[in-house]
Amino acid sequence: MGLFSVKGYERTSLMDILDAVGTSKGGFYNYFKSKDDLYYAVLEEAKRIWRECCLSGLNEIDDPVDKLKMLLANYRDRYLKRTDTFPGGCIFLSFSVGLDGSRPDLIVDVTENFNKLKTRIQFYLDEGKDAGRITADVDTTRMAQAIFSAMLGSSVVHRADKSMENLDNSIGSIITLIESIEIQKKSNSTTE
């Protein structure tokens, strides 16, 4: 995962992989039929890590707007800042950029997962709108696209500059955008 996140799939050679794990070609082929098989194994593990990091704690939150803000905070704090596993930043972005033209067969799963993330974001916005937590005039489809695009943009900038401060500011700006369309929750306390 580390090699793929830094160098991308295409630029990571089999020799790079063998050197990184300290095995031979025979050792590699005991576990994988091809480099493509390794790609799919890495992709599945990366998806598992993404879910573990980004969806952490969301089931304990009832409010859809708060869930969306927690998803963004998790994406920043638990996923993008996880430089031990993904030293090159978001591995899905590496795959998306590196494989788009050369290996469309490998990018299909990444694209499907990007679409699932956009759908999840829109679901939280729609739920928030239905619950009276998002202003009625918000186009949730466009807002979901903007949030998704800003997330990817934050990943790109973070990959380039490795600045935690800039990452905090980027994701913080997305959360501020959400707060600008948010209708505050009604207080449960009554005034005497």
Q: Which residues contact 98 (CB under 8 A, 6 or more apart)?
A: 8, 9, 10, 11
Q: Specify the CATH number for the domain of residue 169.
A: 1.10.357.10
Picking from 3-12, 45-54, 72-81, which range would have the lowest pLDDT averaged per residue?
3-12
Select from 62, 75, 189, 187 the least CA-distant residue to 128.
62
Q: Is the pLDDT at 189 greater than 50, yes or no? A: no
- pLDDT computed for residue 38 by the predictor: 96
**Taking a C-beta distance cutoff of 8 angstroms, is the pair 40, 50 a contact?**
no
Considering only CA atoms, which of 61, 69, 71 is closest in space to residue 182?
A: 69
Model confidence band, residue 180 (pLDDT cutoffs 50, 70, 90):
very high
Say if CB 17 and CB 28 are below 8 A apart: yes
User: Which of 104, 179, 118 is CA-nearest to residue 146?
Assistant: 118
**pLDDT per residue over 78-104, tens digit each?**
999 988 888 988 999 999 888 877 888
Please, are residues 168 and 76 in contact by the beta-carbon 8 Å criterion?
yes
Residue 125 lies in a domain: yes
Q: Does 192 fall in a domain?
A: no
Report the range of poorest mean pLDDT among 93-97, 109-113, 146-150: 93-97
In a domain, 114, yes or no: yes
Q: How many CB atoms neighbour CB 159 within 10 A? A: 19
Residue 118 belongs to a domain: yes
- Give the per-residue pLDDT at 187: 55
Q: Where are the beta strands (DSSP E) in 102-189?
A: none
Average pLDDT of the segment spanning 52-76? 97
Task: Classify residue 72: in a domain, yes or no.
Answer: yes
Dist CA 9 CA 13 (whole Å): 8
User: Domain span at residue 54?
Assistant: 2-181
94 falls within a domain: yes
Domain annotation covers residue 134: yes
Average pLDDT on 7-15 reads 92
- Looking at the structure of the chain, the number of domains it has is 1
187 lies in some domain: no
